[in-house]
Amino acid sequence: MCIQMCMPAKCQCIEGTARNAQATVKQEQKCNQNEQWVECATACEASCDKPEDVYYKKMMNKFAVIFVVLIFTAEFAVGQLLWPGQQSMTCGENEIFKQCANKANRCEPSCAVPKPMICTLMCGQGCDCQDGFLRSQNGKCVRPNQC
């Protein structure tokens, strides 16, 4: 099991390949051979010198329980834990699933803050309100005139 957390979109190696030492980071959606554009990029991409990213796995094993406790005890739910390969979760009315959800980085427009100004770069899979809707105090996605 892993905790899904996204970094800003970028080119990432396709499954079964690893990045070599001469690799460069692309800023647009044109990726090299054996790469694909990923909206929810991992911070722990495998490389030739660390094919399985051993440090990340050790860190996750050590702190997974702490992360899970923090996620489930957070004041505002940021999503749910997904098994590797699980690509979506069930979203509510007027919501849409996103790999890099605004709700996860506390940047989702809401009735209280319709235009958030300060956001984190990291995000996670989750359900955001569809365009034209705001998150209400009771957690539902409503039209602005229903706030």
The DSSP symbol for 105 reads G
Q: Which of 41, 45, 47, 37 is nearest to 11 (CA)?
A: 37
Q: How far is CA 73 from CA 1, 55, 77, in A?
A: 19, 26, 8
- The answer to whether 89 touches 79, Cβ cutoff 8 Å, is yes
Could you tell me which residue, 11 or 78, shows the higher pLDDT? 11
Residues 23-76: tens digit of each pLDDT: 554 444 566 666 666 655 555 555 555 544 444 444 444 444 444 434 333 333
The DSSP symbol for 104 reads G
Q: Which CATH number fits domain 95-146: 3.30.200.20, 2.10.25.10, 3.40.50.10860, 3.10.129.10?
A: 2.10.25.10
For the chain, the domains span 10-73, 95-146
Determine the pLDDT at residue 97: 83
Q: Is the pTM of this model over 0.75?
A: no
> Which residue has tokens 């702190």?
63
Separation of alpha carbons 129 and 146, rounded Å: 14
Q: How far is CA 130 from CA 6, 21, 54, 98, 109, in A?
A: 20, 40, 38, 10, 10
Residues 105-141: tens digit of each pLDDT: 567 888 988 887 766 656 677 788 998 999 998 989 9
pLDDT beyond 70 at 85: no
What is the mean predicted confidence (pLDDT) over 74-83? Answer: 40
